[in-house]
Structure 1
Amino acid sequence: MADKKILYGDLLRRCLPLALWPAADRTAWDSLFVEGDILDGTVGPGAFWKPTTQINYRQSYGRWLTFVIGQGLLANNQEAPWKRVTPERVAAYLAQLVEQDMSSWTIWGRMAGLLCLIEAMAPKEDFGWLRRIVRYYERQTVDRRKKAPRLQPSHIMLDWALRHIENAQHRAVQHVGDRAYRNALIIGLLSCCPVRLANLTMIEIDRHLVRLSTGYVLRFAPNETKTGHLFSAPLSRELTAPLDQYISVVRPRLLKGPSHARLWVSERGTPMSGRTIHEAVTVTTEVAFGRSINLHLFRDCAATFVALEDPEHIGIVSPLLGHVDPRAAERHYIEANQIVAGRRLRSSVAQARKILPPSKGKINK
């Protein structure tokens, strides 16, 4: 059993590494990835999980084990992992996460990861009560995020990006201008091609970003996308010249060491990590539009823009975002109709107020 001393202090917030998991838990984890034979059903449920999915589930379960061990709830190394997941213990676990001031989004992620992994380990057990908890925090996450006020029309964001790309070239301090140019270019790319963070991070020149005579195309192989489908989309022609300038002039200045193929380069000359890109995007958009726009919100912005401005072509949303289920596009169409209805209502109310007679007397409070 892992030494409880390693869990004290700040380490109480961390995810227990796989090497320190109890023997029964490591065995259960390994059984999820048995290759087996797909025809006779002996393939482990995790055999087809993407590496990012494996990492998310492993971290969520590791955080659960940190709680279990820290609370002295680990009876022995051979106890079946799913036997420890009880409503009482999960309630105490949730209380600890809340006490640590975790956001509803983070709590939802930890609980969803725990649910998915424990159901994979014990498919015959009933964890409906845990599924209800996950759904509750999912709703809380949506409510608290209040996405609508943060959405920006795609053409507005592209226009902002192009103007700031131009301004960045005239900054007095070159490295500040190069960083501003790069960040504005990322915003411009996302405004017309809102790819997921993992794909945005991995972009390599001449592999994912390909220069054609008509402009640039962004391509990802099936094994590089979340859905497992090929993704290929042309970028706005207005980004062609800025991308040419970035690749030939700005990017080489950002490189301070050995060259690499990754498109986005940090101030240290290394490939930008997903976290660094996320911070650059959220900070830049907060300054630009008054509210931060994360990577996933760019996808909502694009879908809502199409639904509002070009509803006859709402069908382009699913392939644009790499969705397999067209119901995702339908949801944005419904939301856009609600926005239009709200606009019309506000206009009608404003017009009606103009013809009201002057108010007589005071309103009773």
Structure 2
Amino acid sequence: MRDLGEQRPASQDEARLARRLARYLATWPAIDRQRWEQNCAPADPLDDPGYGSTLRLASRHKIARGYTYWLRFLDEAGWLDPAAPPGARISHARSAAWFRALMARGNAPFTIAGRFAELNLAIRVLAPEADRTCILQPNGASIRQRLFMDKRELLIPDARILYAEGLRLMGTAEQCRTRRKALLQFRDGLIFAVLSARARRLRTTAQTMATDNLHKVDGRYRIDYRPDQIKTARRDNVLLPARLTPFIDRYLGEIRPALLRGTDHGALWVGTLGKPLAEPGIEKLVRVRSKALLGVAIGPHRFRHALGTTAPLVNRTEPGLARAVLDISEAVAAEHYNRANAIIATEFFQAEMLAATQAANDHARLEKIRRRRE
């Protein structure tokens, strides 16, 4: 009998991740594999779950991949003792040596920081009791400090532009040369519109079911997500804009059935072969469409930044609007999503500059008139 908490691959993409994860684990020492399987096993609902048991398949795959790189480094340096526990293999000296090795290989700063982050999380899974200071701050300074890393400047488009592009894609779908291209353009346009209007996370978007989650109430569509479909594990009720109702009606009545090719699996978003459109598929279409629109490809998560920044600009009397729409905390909204304050400050500065320039021009004009009179 399968454990209730066991995670099974729900799509071909997850099955592929599971196979890759198994290949990584197969290269590990026995003690590492045993601890990983033990600490990532589903926890009893009445117990305090360990960190490993809370990880999704994609997260486990990413962490295991990074840890595999670490083990390879130790082996190449002659430091890998297969019988030693994972926590005993870390030290300030080894972290410094790994840092220098990654630099010598030409890895970018953000890649190096990512490798240390993956190692930190792997040790958190494999040896929860271990002191990870030598990973977080080798020899007293963080990796980011050593790399002099600043946050990357992100292109944050106006959510209204993204929404308008979604409407345009749907409105012009019939102009495509083939029926298949028309179906896909309409689907992509609706995804664009829904993401720009409500901006739910990629995993949640991919898990949306046409029958279980999507409901029409008083002429508007609402998506009701279960806690297991949401990162914060809370129910989420998303009311979609009324303007999208006729487009969703057409998608459900015409576009989606044509994409399904006769077999209905229940997923709202359908791929080119009639199967559920998984996370990589949504990521790809968003990047392709956004590059055609903006000249730069952006991913689905950037829609959350766009909405978090645009919402306060649209209604400046409601500073908490973005937080409510995105269903996130005020602190998270302020730190990661809302860049509207900088935009508003720039607008005020420009207005002040314009007013000062106009005043200076008026003063010069008055002075010129006065001198003429004299």
TM-score interval, smaller chain? 0.7 to 0.9
Corresponding position: 1:201 with 2:206? yes
Q: Which residue of the partner structure matches residue 259 of structure 1?
A: 264
CA distance in 2, matches of 1:311, 1:330: 15
Q: Which residue of the partner structure matches residue 62 of structure 1?
A: 68
Please, which of 13, 25, 28 is the counterpart of residue 21 of structure 1? 28
- Range with greater deviation from structure 2 (162-171 or 188-197): 162-171
Q: Which residue of the partner structure matches residue 270 of structure 1?
A: 275
Q: Which has the larger radius of gyration?
A: 2
Q: Which residue of the partner structure matches residue 143 of structure 1?
A: 151
The alpha-carbon distance between structure 1 residues 311 and 56, as it changes in their structure 2 partners (threshold 3 A), is farther
Alpha carbons 1:314, 1:333 under 8 Å: kept:
no
The alpha-carbon distance between structure 1 residues 98 and 190, as it changes in their structure 2 partners (threshold 3 A), is farther
Please, which of 227, 230, 236 is the counterpart of residue 225 of structure 1? 230
RMSD: 3.2
CA distance in 1, matches of 2:351, 2:345: 10
Q: Per-residue CA shift, 1:186-227, capped at 9, x if unaligned?
A: 110101110111111111111122233322111221122111
CA distance in 1, matches of 2:260, 2:197: 26
Please, which of 277, 286, 289 is the counterpart of residue 281 of structure 1? 286
CA distance in 2, matches of 1:340, 1:203: 35
Alpha carbons 1:34, 1:44 under 8 Å: kept:
no
Paired residue type of 2:309:
T
Q: Which residue of the partner structure matches residue 350 of structure 2?
A: 346
Q: Which residue of the partner structure matches residue 79 of structure 2?
A: 73
The equivalences for 1:162-177 within 5 A come to 162-177=167-182
Alpha carbons 1:108, 1:137 under 8 Å: kept:
no
Paired residue type of 1:313:
E
The alpha-carbon distance between structure 1 residues 34 and 291, as it changes in their structure 2 partners (threshold 3 A), is closer
The alpha-carbon distance between structure 1 residues 331 and 219, as it changes in their structure 2 partners (threshold 3 A), is same
CA distance in 2, matches of 1:38, 1:185: 38
Paired residue type of 2:331:
R
Q: Which residue of the partner structure matches residue 308 of structure 2?
A: 303
Q: 1:321 Cα shift?
A: 2.0
Alpha carbons 2:119, 2:135 under 8 Å: kept:
no
Alpha carbons 1:255, 1:269 under 8 Å: kept:
yes
CA distance in 2, matches of 1:240, 1:84: 58
The TM-score with structure 2 as length reference comes to 0.78
Corresponding position: 1:178 with 2:183? yes
Partner SS state of residue 312, structure 1 = coil
Q: Which residue of the partner structure matches residue 245 of structure 1?
A: 250
Q: Per-residue CA shift, 1:247-294, capped at 9, x if unaligned?
A: 221222223464321122222222222112111101211211233232
Partner SS state of residue 295, structure 1 = coil
Corresponding position: 1:119 with 2:127? no
Alpha carbons 1:25, 1:81 under 8 Å: kept:
yes
CA distance in 2, matches of 1:68, 1:113: 15
The alpha-carbon distance between structure 1 residues 39 and 89, as it changes in their structure 2 partners (threshold 3 A), is same
Alpha carbons 1:170, 1:177 under 8 Å: kept:
yes
Partner SS state of residue 89, structure 1 = helix
Partner SS state of residue 273, structure 2 = coil
CA distance in 2, matches of 1:223, 1:172: 41
The alpha-carbon distance between structure 1 residues 106 and 277, as it changes in their structure 2 partners (threshold 3 A), is farther
Corresponding position: 1:215 with 2:220? yes
Q: Which residue of the partner structure matches residue 340 of structure 2?
A: 336
Q: Which residue of the partner structure matches residue 164 of structure 2?
A: 159
The equivalences for 1:3-18 within 5 A come to 17-18=24-25
Runs of 5+ unmatched residues, structure 2:
1-19, 365-374
Alpha carbons 2:269, 2:276 under 8 Å: kept:
yes
Q: How many residues align?
A: 338
Q: 1:302 Cα shift?
A: 1.0
The TM-score with structure 1 as length reference comes to 0.80
Runs of 5+ unmatched residues, structure 1:
1-13, 358-365
The alpha-carbon distance between structure 1 residues 175 and 108, as it changes in their structure 2 partners (threshold 3 A), is farther
